[in-house]
Amino acid sequence: MSLRKEHQDIVKPFVEAFIRNDKEEIVNLINYPLQRQYPIPYIYNKHEMIERFSQVFDENLTNMIINSSVETDWHDVGWRGIMMGNGLIWIDYDGKLHAINYQSLQEKEMRNNIILELKNNLPESLREFKEPCLLCETKTYILRIDLLDDNNYRLAAWTKKNKKKNINIVLTNGEKIFDGSG
């Protein structure tokens, strides 16, 4: 199915900026902060995007964008915006990119290094997990949720004042439940 003309006009400037290799224009066509796969830090502004540009838009992703057909490779998905492929890239109706569901080799390596560093800074009892999912703080607690190798989730919590990170509570066998439109 072909992307409607008015939506093609929204996507074309984005694709054309890649064809011209106009990084300045590309960074201006992004809604910030741009979320990256946890625990990779978000990209909060144009300056950070310029620094991390080749990390996000590697040759593979750049070629996918350049070689995409605005008419047939991009799809209007209602209130969610316009996507390329099966949600690889999302653009809002204002023409701004708001999500990239792609990870370059450089970002994969960066993520693996961050995860390794996180594991090394955790108490030994929490170092075994498949994926880190969430780290948050309340006034008194630090909470983390990890996906374990058995595809269950673990919640661990300890007080902020606790310098040795002695764990106050660990809950295992958690599951992710999607509710509503997700």
Buried b (16+ CB within 10 A) or exposed e, 48-76: bbeebeebbbbeebbebbeebebeebbbb
Q: Are residues 15 and 96 in the same domain?
A: yes
pLDDT digits (tens, 9 = 90+) for 10-64: 999 999 999 999 999 999 999 999 999 999 999 999 999 999 999 999 999 999 9
| Structure-block tokens of residue 170 | 């660990």
- Say if residue 36 is in the same domain as residue 97: yes
- Over residues 54-69, the pLDDT tens digits come to 999 999 999 999 999 9
Same domain, 96 and 33: yes
Reference 143, options 130, 126, 131, 128; nearest CA is 126
Segment 80-90 mean pLDDT: 96
CA–CA separation, 24 and 142 (whole Å): 39
In terms of domains, do 99 and 140 share one? no
Q: How far apart are CA 107 and CA 88, in angstroms?
A: 15
Containing structural domain, residue 38: 5-105
Cβ-contact 146, 122 below 8 angstroms: no
- The answer to whether 49 and 35 have CB atoms below 8 angstroms apart is no
Residues 81 and 16 in one domain: yes
Same domain, 138 and 59: no
Domain assignment present for 110: no
75, 105, 135: which is the final residue of a domain?
105
Residues 22, 16: Cα–Cα separation, whole Å:
9
- Report the domain count for the chain: 2
Question: Is there a single domain that holds both residue 179 and residue 145?
Answer: yes
Domain for residue 118, yes or no?
Answer: no
Are 67 and 18 within one domain?
Answer: yes
pLDDT value, residue 181? 67
Examine the domain organization and report whether 87 and 161 are in the same domain: no
Residues 51 and 93 in one domain: yes
| pLDDT at residue 166 in the model | 85
